[in-house]
A = this chain, B = another copy of it.
Amino acid sequence: MRVAILGGDGFCGWPAALRLSAVGHDVSIVDNLSRRRIDVDLGTQSLTPIETIDTRLEDWQRRGGTRIGFVAIDVARDYARLLTFIREFRPEAIVHYAEQRSAPYSMRSSAEKRYTVENNVAATHNVLCAVVESELDCHVVHLGTMGVYGYSGTGPIPEGYARAKFEGLDGTWTEREILSPADPGSVYHMTKTLDQLLFSFYNKNDRIRITDLHQGVVWGTNTEECLRGEALVNRFDYDGEYGTVLNRFLVQAAVGHPLTVYGSGGQTRAFIHIRDSVECIRLAIEHPPSPGERVRIFNQMTETHRVADLAKIVARLSGAAIGEVPNPRREADSNELVVTRSGLQKLGLKPTTLEAGLLEEILGVAKKYAQRVDRERIASTSYWNAERRRAAEGKDPRSPPASSSTPARSPADR
């Protein structure tokens, strides 16, 4: 199958491109390398020494992989070139990763909020417009996030659509399925709720076939294909903006820094290993929705954990201490999370569990590259709003300043 991977140079896109190529698909990557530029702007870099996209692709072929194409297009800003690419390559599936994907980055300031909204909405909308204009019957597979549902609900999280009862004119309640109500916790997460409405409209109006994968926090670094050669290594972000909670813990453990738990650590989140994430993409493109089917939505996660429990596991495996910092995010200090996830399991997903894969990350990645860690970059410098900033900076008389006994650097230290 001809598969275009938009954002195929990124953390999820790169291993997905290799995986799909390895199982026999004809893969072309489209990327504007924005993630690498953001690293430059933030003064950060991947813990793993990733190669340029050209070197990566050459190495893949040198090691026996099928040629993977690469086109530098800004999907959000260069519609004409995107359309030309789609008309020429004629993809049967487009995997759309071409969005700014960090919640803390999206909350840094107006500039990053605006970039995230304008980039993500325009990228998704351009893809949909180009598919309509090309008149190709092309399946669009999009990476959403579990965060569209929010973490304040009381019931189980459905796969995209919730059964709900509404009161009719005659006072009786009738049941129908609706897109599960959105409750995003950051500008980034909000853009994925906007994407959902774009998909819903273009599916209804133009019958585009779409699969939206609401992914949990991705952990792990390398897939089988990334491990074929040093130049194929995947990126590993540990900085306060792009590093996910588990990656930050792993790096902190490797350099002997206390694990920075936000608040009580009672936040429960959904997780998935990068190996399973790319396998889900394969399953999604190989099982497209039928023509006329509504947007197919799957929850792409395999297990849920409390942040405090993750810290305990990492501490146990590595001997690290556990610290606590004020939470810069506006979120519930603690939540339950029950997620429906039968869709991808029915298609055959066999998960890698956290317990099984974590030691490999500690030894194979975090400790291996520990000399590359920049300790100054681990703390987040993004505050969710003015109130949180004042609280963290100790300027708000209503909120006490961060305790001086806090072992970790507070976000205000930078």
* Interface of A toward B, CB cutoff 8 Å: 79, 83, 109-110, 113-114, 117-118, 121-122, 125-126, 129-130, 132-133, 135, 154-156, 162-169, 173-174, 178-179, 181-182, 184, 187, 190, 193-194, 197-198, 200-201, 204-206, 330, 338, 384-386
B residues near A130, Cβ cutoff 8 Å: 110
A206 to B130, CA, bound (A): 35
List the B side residues contacting A338 at CB < 8 Å: 169
The residue of chain B having its C-beta at the shortest distance from the C-beta of A126 within the complex is B114
- Residues B169 and A156 in contact, CB atoms below 8 Å apart: yes
A198 adjacent to B190 (CB under 8 Å): yes
Report the Cα distance A169→B173, complex, angstroms: 20
In the complex, the answer to whether B113 meets A125 with C-beta atoms within 8 Å is: yes
Interfacial chain B residues near A173, Cβ < 8 Å: 165
Copies of this chain in its oligomeric complex: 2
Contact present for B386 and A132 (CB under 8 Å)? yes
Smallest Cβ-Cβ distance to A206: which chain B residue: B385
Find out whether the CB atom of A121 lies under 8 angstroms from the CB atom of B117.
yes
Given contacts A385-B206, A386-B206, are A114 and B190 in contact (CB under 8 A)? no
Nearest 5 interchain pairs by C-beta: A165-B165, A164-B164, A110-B129, A178-B181, A155-B168
Residue of B nearest to A190 (CB): B201
Find chain B residues with CB under 8 A from A179 CB: 181-182
Q: Which residues of B contact A156 (CB under 8 A)?
A: 168-169
B162 pairs with A166, CB closer than 8 A = yes
Q: Quick check: B330 and A205 within 8 Å, CB to CB?
A: yes
Bound complex: CA A386 to CA B200 (Å): 17
Closest chain B residue, CB of each to CB of A201: B190
A79 touches B110 (CB 8 A): yes
Selected from B164, B167, B385, the residue in CB contact (under 8 A) with A166 is B164
Which B residues touch A113, using CB under 8 A? 125, 129
Assess A187 versus B168: contact at CB under 8 Å? Given A118-B118, A194-B194. Answer: no
Q: Does A155 contact B167, Cβ atoms closer than 8 Å? A: yes
A194 touching B155 by the CB < 8 A rule?
no
B residues within 8 A CB of A206?
385-386
What residues on B are CB-neighbors of A163 within 8 Å?
Answer: 166-167
Q: Once the chains bind, are A114 and B132 in contact (CB under 8 Å)?
A: no
Q: Which of B79, B110, B118, B135 contacts A121 (CB 8 A)?
A: B118
State A204–B184 Cα separation when bound (angstroms).
Answer: 10
Q: Which residues of B sit under 8 angstroms from A129, Cβ to Cβ?
A: 110, 113-114
